[in-house]
Amino acid sequence: MQLRSQDFKARAAGSLADPHLGKALANLRQRMVLGRIPSVAELDNFEEAREAAKQVRDDALEHLDLLLEQFERNATARGTQVHWAETPQDMNRIVLEIARRAGVRKAIKSKSMLGEESGLNGYLQAAGIEVRETDLGEYIIEQSGDVPSHIIAPAVHRTLDEVADLFHERHNLPRKTDIGELTREARMLLRPHFLTADMGITGANFLIAETGSTMIVTNEGNGRMTTTLPRVHVAIAGIEKVLPTLEDASFILRLLTRSATAQSISNYLSFTTGPKQAGDKDGPEEFHVVIVDSGRTKVLGSELREALRCIRCGACMNHCPVYQNIGGHPYGWVYPGPIGSVLTPAFAGLENAVDLPNAATLCNQCGVVCPVKIPLPDLMRKLREQQVARGLRPWPERLALRAWAWTATRPALYALLARIGVRLGRMAGGRDRLIRHLPGAAGWTAQRDMPAPSGRTFRELYARRKA
């Protein structure tokens, strides 16, 4: 996916003006935010479970090198061919080499964020291999020529009427508005691709070190058919996806599904351990796992390390007031929302995503709901500090911060200026005591009115009350 994070402000303004997007995102809040409440209540103590999940992920990251080696040994012993890729380009090249050796002409693909990072579909298509997305949300995106706006629900920005119009146009069939009928229509058109594809490509929610297995979680049968019907299966996964044991994966899964789609358990949970063996009724003749770094080692050794705990549930964006109003496209890359505001600068470079660490209110809704307790506001603050240190913020902003810091270290001057400021603010509020235009803060007051101060500083009010 092309990186467009530098256009965040312009794209966010466009999203706010889109009435269809607001309607679609209202559905997200209804289903994934409100629906999560009874789902997490099913657990005896959700907060204890979050702490335990955090510990599991931290331990896995602490012993990442050993776990990856263990995964490779156990996977290879079961007939899996394990490949290592340092960059997204390396991953694309490896997948293409596998396809060419196997004589692949058509590949079907289940949802993969790593595939979006590397632009895998376009790379294979440019090499003459037909690629078809099979996840329903990704299929809608593919048909519309769009890009995903959510890591769990790629087409969440599309309303039912928009999907109905799209299918009518692309499929040349009578227009339908029933969700079940639209789903059956997509299934009818996708089924021939499942039966004729030579290669299936999936991501992996987790890599299980003790068994050498990959695990995928889906709510559709497309993922399972992608792993079993084609004669070649390729799973692509980032290095941080490894977990020590099946028990760890089972435990994390209890939090993943509740946080992602407000379900107690997903409809389909598939483990793949090696290619088809003698006596097996289905499965691929070849099974390849491509393990990808793509900047993750750099993050592992940085102060943003905790972001690698992410299990890609999407809860942070579901609950983020910014994402709830603008959707995922303004963030400009694969990962939107609060986690994207950390991962995009970490993976693609802070200089290429200057606005993202500031695209949050720091209300900590994301931190409260994260099932593995990633302190996202703290990580965004660290990125903001890096921006200032590297001179990546606009010079007027940096100058204002220096002036404030200089003044704040001189209490008498600070108190005098504060007294002047609150009195000017009181006057600017007028009769209704609302500041509608604030010099230097047009981006804030263009969308909201600020309550005017009382005309007295806190110290003055406190002294009066004490007296």
**Strand-pair partners of 451:** 434
Q: Say what the pLDDT of residue 301 is.
A: 95
Strand order in the sheet with 242-243: 242-243, 206-208, 213-218, 268-272
What count of other Cβ atoms lies within 10 Å of the Cβ of residue 220?
20
What average pLDDT does the structure give for the chain? Answer: 94
Which of 374, 393, 412 is the C-terminal boundary of a domain? 393
Of the candidates 333, 368, 393, which is a domain's last residue? 393
- Is 311 within the bounds of a domain? no
Residue 351: exposed, middle, or buried by beta-carbon count in 10 A (0-12, 13-18, 19+)? exposed
Q: What is the pLDDT of residue 2?
A: 87
CA atoms of 238 and 122, how far apart (whole Å): 20
- pLDDT digit string, tens, across residues 291-342: 999 999 999 999 999 999 999 999 999 999 999 999 999 999 999 999 999 9
Q: Give yes or no for residue 432 having a pLDDT over 90.
A: no
pLDDT at 183 over 90: yes
184 and 93 inside one domain: yes
436 pLDDT more than 90? no
For residue 446, pLDDT over 80 is answered with no
Could you tell me if 219 and 128 are in contact, meaning their C-beta atoms sit under 8 angstroms apart?
Answer: no
Q: In angstroms, rounded to a whole number, what is the distance separating the alpha carbons of residues 258 and 371?
A: 9
pLDDT at 1 over 90: no
Average confidence (pLDDT) over 195-207: 97
Range 418-447 average pLDDT: 85
Task: Write down the pTM of the prediction.
Answer: 0.90
> What CA–CA distance (Å, rounded) separates 73 from 209?
9
What is the pLDDT at residue 36? 92
Confidence at residue 354, expressed as pLDDT on a 0 to 100 scale: 94
Q: Is the predicted pLDDT of residue 440 greater than 90, yes or no? A: no
Same structural domain, 145 and 197: yes
- Decide if pLDDT at 442 tops 80: no
Q: 260 lies in a domain?
A: yes
Residue with more model confidence, 398 or 198? 198
Closest CA to 29 of 368, 340, 324, 362: 324
**Which of 18-32, 96-110, 397-411 is predicted with the least confidence, judged by mean pLDDT?**
18-32
Give yes or no: residues 161 and 265 share one domain.
yes
pLDDT tens sequence across 231-269:
999 999 999 999 999 999 999 999 999 999 999 888 899
Q: How far apart are CA 47 and CA 40, in angstroms?
A: 10
Shared domain check, 146 and 8: no
Same-domain pairing of 94 and 5: no
Angle at the Cα of 353 (from 349 to 356), degrees rounded to 5? 130
Do 105 and 20 belong together in one domain? no
Whole-number pLDDT of residue 467: 79
Q: Indicate if 152 and 170 belong to the same structural domain.
A: yes
pLDDT value of position 117: 95
> Stretch 24-29: mean pLDDT, rounded?
86
Residues 28-72: tens digit of each pLDDT: 888 889 999 999 999 989 999 999 999 999 999 999 999 999 999
Residue 303, domain member (yes or no): no
What is the average per-residue pLDDT within 18-34? 87
One domain, residues 323 and 247: no
| pLDDT > 70 fraction of the chain, expressed in percent and rounded | 100
Whose tokens are 């005017």? That residue is 452
Check whether residue 95 and residue 119 sit in a common domain: yes
What pLDDT does residue 190 have?
A: 95
Point out the domain boundary residue: 261, 294, 327. 294
Count how many domains the chain has.
3
Identify whether 305 is part of a domain: no
For 412, the domain range is: 400-466
Tokens of residue 41, six digits: 């209540």
For the cut 90, the answer to whether the pLDDT of residue 435 exceeds it is no
Residue whose entry in the numeric block shows the structure tokens 């039912």: 160
Residue 109 and residue 135 share a domain? yes
Per-residue pLDDT at 361 exceeds 80: yes
pLDDT at 336: 96
Q: Which residues contact 340 (CB under 8 A, 6 or more apart)?
A: 317, 328, 331, 333, 334, 356
* Cα–chain center distance at 242: 18
Give residue 237's pLDDT: 98
CA separation for the pair 409, 394 (Å, rounded): 23
